[in-house]
Amino acid sequence: MASHRKWSPTGTRIAGIRTPALATAALTSVALLSQTANAAPSADSKPSIEEVEKKVDDLYHQAEAATETYNATREKTAQQRKRVDSLLDDVAQRTEKLNTAREELGSFAAAQYRTGAAAPDTASLLLADNPQDYFDQTQLMNRLTTRQKAAVDDYVTEQAATTKKRAEASKSLQTLTTTQSALRTSKADVQRKLAEARSLLSKLTAEEKARLAAIEKKKQEAADRKAAELAQQQAAAEKKAQEAAAQQQTASGTSGTSGTTGSAGTSGSSATDSSYTAKADKALAFARTQVGKPYVWGATGPGSYDCSGLTQAAWKAAGVDLPRTTWDQVNVGTTVPLSDIKPGDLVFFYDDISHVGLYVGNGMMIHAPKPGAYVREESIFYGGESIIHSVVRPA
């Protein structure tokens, strides 16, 4: 017979609580407190303005690096496309020659059939897909006229050359397909980084955007101070060099041979400096006319630029051809110390050399900064001295 005892809950009992009602209330309170504790961090999980700024800057930097990858891949794709087009044209011309040679063989065979002058083996040779193989096997060369022999030789030569060129074209097409795929990947990478940066900025309130602008202004002021310091240091160094040159000129005036040698050396150096200055002035004049145009990744002008597209176009205006990407531009010309930087020099940034600007003097440069910005004049210390990679004199 079933027991009629009341069911008694088992399990761990909370100390000090003896009634079911109180136990239920206590457990509910604990659960609510736990939920509150877990919910609290989500309210504070929103990144600070400084964190947003750093994240956006990092994304723009990554986008610039991806842009240079895109630029390099696009240039490679263009070169490969030219090669493929050239090979295909060559194949078409060789195929035409091959057909002409085969037609000539066919006319010989047809004429011999009509006159009955040809042995069956001779006609088979002239109409064979590979006359050389057939000839090697049947020893028919003695039956052919000189003109016929030349026709067979031409056909065999053109057939071999055409086959080789077709293979090259096929391989080049495969390479082109690979580079086009890499180009699409690079493009998608840039777009993804930029979309993420825009998403972060779009979530900021008006007050947060104002605070972010204030942070940017503070950084710009610090960068301008560093630029002014560099300008002062260079002015002091130049003054010292002029005084030393004046003293040397005075001393050389009292000496004979040594003064002549020193004067010749100075003259050669001055001529080199003058030549570079003339070219740099042209590059800078071009760059100044581009100020205010938008940064667009992958652009080389005239309506918009990315960083390396601008420096390439500026120096091209001075008659100097620079490569397309920052990674190649950094290897052109002569690397100089920051203390010796001159107007027209290229300033490269970051360890991955993903950004470049054109130095204008007094610690300032003209550059295409980042997506959403415009070509502008700015301190080379805009991101701090630590991100300056190197300075290159391109001509």
Taking CA atoms, 385 is separated from 225, 350, 375, in Å, by 12, 10, 21
What's the token pair of residue 390?
A: 């190197």
- 355 contacts 344 by C-beta, under 8 angstroms: no
Please name the residue ranges forming H helices in the chain: 20-44, 49-115, 120-127, 131-138, 146-202, 206-253, 257-290, 307-317, 326-329
Decide the pairing of beta strands 334-336 and 376-379: unpaired
What's the token pair of residue 154?
A: 């031409």
Decide the pairing of beta strands 388-393 and 355-361: unpaired
Angle at 65 between CA 63 and CA 69, to 5 degrees: 110
Query: Rounded to whole angstroms, how far apart are CA atoms 142 and 144?
Result: 6
Please give the span between the terminal C-alpha atoms of the chain, in angstroms, as a whole number: 108
Find, among 145, 147, 111, 151, the residue nearest to 128 by Cα: 151
Query: Rounded to whole angstroms, how far apart are CA atoms 143 and 368?
Result: 75
Q: Which residues are within 8 A (CB) of 132 and not within 5 positions of it... i.e. 6 or more apart?
A: 152, 156
Active site residues: 307, 355, 367
Query: Rounded to whole angstroms, how far apart are CA atoms 333 and 273?
Result: 14
Find, among 379, 47, 23, 12, the residue nearest to 216 by Cα: 379
Output phi, psi for 16, to 5 deg. Answer: 90, -5
